[in-house]
Amino acid sequence: MDWYGEFVSKLINCRLCPRLVNYRETVPPLPKFSGSDYWRRPVPPWGDLGNARIMIVGLAPAAHGGNRTGRMFTGDSSAQFLFRALYEAGLSSKPFSISRDDGVRVRCVYITSAVKCAPPNNKPTQGELSTCVEHWLRWEIEMVRPRAIIALGRVALEGVGKALGARLVFKHGSYVDVMGVRVFMSYHPSPRNTNTGKLRLGDLVNVLMMAKEYVGCP
C-alpha cells in the first residue's frame, strides 16, 4: 500500500512529545535483553495491508516489547497473549509474536496503537494521546478503512473515540457503531489483566470472533 510506506517513514521520525521521546530513548534494557539493540523510536503498525477489515488498537508499545523490537505487539507478554488468541481465532499463522523476522502473518487484521511511543508506567498524558490520534491514528483509520475496530482497553477506546469524533464508554465484550465502523471493546491483554483472570484467553478469542464474523473474514 503506497500510503503505508509514507506513513511509517514519517512516523518513525516523530519527536512531537518530549516526555515520550526521552523515555523511549533512555529506558534501561531488561537484563535478559541487555545485548539487544532497542528500537527506541515510534513503533510502526503492521498487518494484512491488502485486506485489513479489522483494526486492532492497543494502548501503546511496551517499553521492552515494541520499543525493543520495532513492531507493535511484538516481544512481550501482552503480545504473546494477543497472538495466542489471534491464532485460535484463525487470524494469525502462529501463536506468538517475537520479532520482526519471526515469519508471523496475520489475516484480515491490522495492528496498531493509540499512542506510538512507549510511555512511562504505560500512562500517556491526555496531550500525548491527543497528539498521536491527531497525527497518526486518524490517518490510519482513513487509509485502512476498517469495517471493525477492536479497542484493547479504556485508553485505546478513548483514542479511537477521538479519531472518530465520538465519546465512547468502555464495556468489555460490547460494541458500538460509529461513523460506519463497528467498534468492539476488550480488556487489554496486559499481565495485570491476564495474570489475575480479569481477561481470560477465551474472552479475547470471543471478541475476535465477533469482529471476524461481522466483517465476513473467512
CATH superfamily, domain 2-215, is Uracil-DNA glycosylase-like domain (3.40.470.10)
User: Is residue 35 over pLDDT 90?
Assistant: no
Contact (CB, 8 A) for 74 and 99 = yes
Distance, in Å, from the CA atom of 91 to the CA atom of 88, rounded to the nearest integer, reads 8
pLDDT at position 212, please? 98
CA–CA separation, 92 and 94 (whole Å):
5
Tens of pLDDT along 145-184? 999 999 999 999 999 999 999 999 999 999 999 999 999 9
Q: How many CB atoms lie within 10 A of CB 155?
A: 23
- pLDDT score of 1: 63
| Closest among 133, 135, 122, 178 to 158, alpha carbons compared | 133
d(CA 180, CA 75): 33
**Closest by alpha carbon to 162, among 122, 134, 186, 125?**
134
State the cell numbers at 42.
Answer: 515510534
Give the residue extent of every domain in the chain: 2-215
Q: Given this model, what pLDDT does residue 2 score?
A: 87
Mean pLDDT of 1-11: 93
User: What per-residue confidence (pLDDT) applies to 122?
Assistant: 95
Find out whether 51 and 110 touch, Cβ atoms under 8 Å.
Answer: no
**Average pLDDT, rounded, for the chain:** 97
